[in-house]
């Protein structure tokens, strides 16, 4: 073979090598993923593809979910750990903690909207997490105060608000909401739930308690049941807000919080770095820095509400029929 043909053949071979498998040509990496919501899963996959990781070529994804049902978490975690995956994407504090107890060797990328990662004992510090966990953590319980303010702008005579939350993971958010409610002279009706089948009875209690609106705090259980919550809130004619930016698309009135699809794309960059050899314990924990206000005008009209022009002007997205 002449030198020119040798170089062309070598170049062609390099171009078809897996993009992410630096130093390990031909290796197929395996990741365990605990994402139930399809749009979040698609965002995570797109983040992986942008980094050169393609399922069926250099990547295998083992997707599992319990949709926030805690009594199924332990079995899901055991199943994923037994697969000896290269990296785990763990969503929510309960799942993250269970994975940490199950393995100290498999790198874990956590995505958590509820916990202070240091105070919760997940990591040693934000800059140098140590151990086998890093990831994206929201840890801004005061967001609920901002959401309460947005509800008051929309409903000036607001006096009673239902708060749908999950005990054990939402305590910091609930405390921040209670403090904001005291400042705003608003009475809260706290509705703690642990299972999806408790959502309807909770909203029924809020309606019977004459709640004028509802604030949905974050948890994996809530994230996996946004459409049901939004539909029930419409049936009860109850304006609803949450940090989940997909909530208005499901039929809720408003959302204010970080882009969750964006957080999953960010989580994919962690996986990429770990596949390429970065020690998980040395990858700093990140927090979202951009927050979006999303308003569903169709829902507002159905509820007989007029959104103030000043609020519409601040919206990052307006869903208009």
- Regarding whether 134 and 112 lie in a shared domain, the answer is yes
Residue 81 forms part of a structural domain = yes
Residue 2 forms part of a structural domain = no
Strand locations in 193-316 (E)? 213-216, 240-242, 254-258, 291-296
- Report pLDDT digits (tens) over 35-51: 988 999 999 999 999 99
Cα separation values, 19 from 32, 34, 304, Å: 20, 24, 53
- Does residue 14 have a pLDDT over 70? no
- Regarding whether 251 and 233 lie in a shared domain, the answer is yes
- Regarding whether 278 and 134 lie in a shared domain, the answer is yes
Write down the pTM of the prediction: 0.85
What's the confidence (pLDDT) of residue 4?
39
* Confidence band for 66, pLDDT divided at 50, 70 and 90: confident
d(Cα 7, Cα 13) in Å, to the nearest integer?
10
- Regarding whether 58 and 69 lie in a shared domain, the answer is yes
- Regarding whether 270 and 255 lie in a shared domain, the answer is no
What's the confidence (pLDDT) of residue 15?
38
- Regarding whether 249 and 150 lie in a shared domain, the answer is yes
Q: Are the CB atoms for 37 and 43 separated by under 8 Å?
A: no
d(Cα 250, Cα 246) in Å, to the nearest integer?
7
Residue 120 forms part of a structural domain = yes
Q: Work out how many domains the chain is built from and give that number.
A: 2
Residue 87 forms part of a structural domain = yes
Which of 233, 229, 259 shows the shortest CA–CA distance to 246?
259
Tell me the residue range of the domain where 31 lies.
21-138+260-282
Q: Are the CB atoms for 226 and 194 separated by under 8 Å?
A: no
What's the confidence (pLDDT) of residue 18?
40
Residue 267 forms part of a structural domain = yes
Q: Which residues contact 284 (CB under 8 A, 6 or more apart)?
A: 126, 127, 128, 129, 134
Q: Which segment of 7-21, 52-66, 71-85 scores lowest on mean pLDDT?
A: 7-21
Residue 297 in tokens: 């005008």
Give me the chain's average pLDDT, please. 90
d(Cα 190, Cα 33) in Å, to the nearest integer?
32
* CATH of residue 209: 3.40.50.2300
- Regarding whether 312 and 183 lie in a shared domain, the answer is yes
């Amino acid at each position: 073979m002449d030198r020119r043909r040798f170089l062309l053949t070598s170049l062609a071979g390099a171009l078809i090598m897996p993009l992410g498998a630096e130093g390990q040509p031909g290796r197929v990496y395996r990741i365990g993923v605990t994402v139930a919501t399809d749009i979040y899963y698609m965002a995570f996959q797109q983040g992986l593809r942008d980094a050169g990781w393609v399922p069926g070529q250099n990547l295998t994804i083992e997707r599992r979910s319990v949709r926030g049902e805690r009594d199924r978490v332990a079995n899901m975690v055991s199943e994923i750990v037994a697969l000896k995956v290269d990296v785990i994407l763990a969503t929510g504090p309960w799942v993250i903690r269970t994975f940490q107890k199950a393995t100290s060797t498999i790198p874990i990328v956590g995505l958590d909207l509820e916990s202070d990662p240091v105070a919760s004992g997940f990591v040693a510090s934000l800059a140098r997490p140590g151990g086998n966990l890093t990831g994206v953590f929201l840890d801004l319980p005061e967001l609920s105060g901002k959401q309460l303010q947005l509800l008051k702008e929309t409903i000036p005579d607001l006096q009673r608000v239902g708060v749908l939350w999950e005990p054990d993971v939402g305590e910091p958010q609930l405390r921040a909401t209670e403090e904001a409610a005291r400042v705003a002279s608003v009475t809260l009706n706290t509705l703690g739930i642990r299972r999806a089948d408790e959502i309807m009875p909770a909203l029924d209690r809020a309606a019977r308690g004459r709640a004028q609106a509802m604030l949905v705090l974050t948890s994996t259980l809530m994230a996996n049941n946004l459409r049901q919550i939004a539909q029930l809130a419409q049936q009860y004619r109850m304006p609803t807000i949450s940090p989940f930016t997909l909530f208005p698309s499901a039929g809720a009135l408003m959302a204010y919080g970080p882009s969750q699809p964006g957080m999953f794309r960010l989580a994919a960059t962690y996986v990429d770095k770990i596949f390429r050899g970065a020690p998980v314990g040395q990858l700093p924990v990140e927090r979202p820095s951009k927050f979006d206000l999303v308003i569903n005008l169709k829902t507002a009209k159905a509820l007989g509400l007029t959104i103030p022009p000043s609020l519409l002007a601040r919206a990052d997205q307006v869903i208009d029929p």
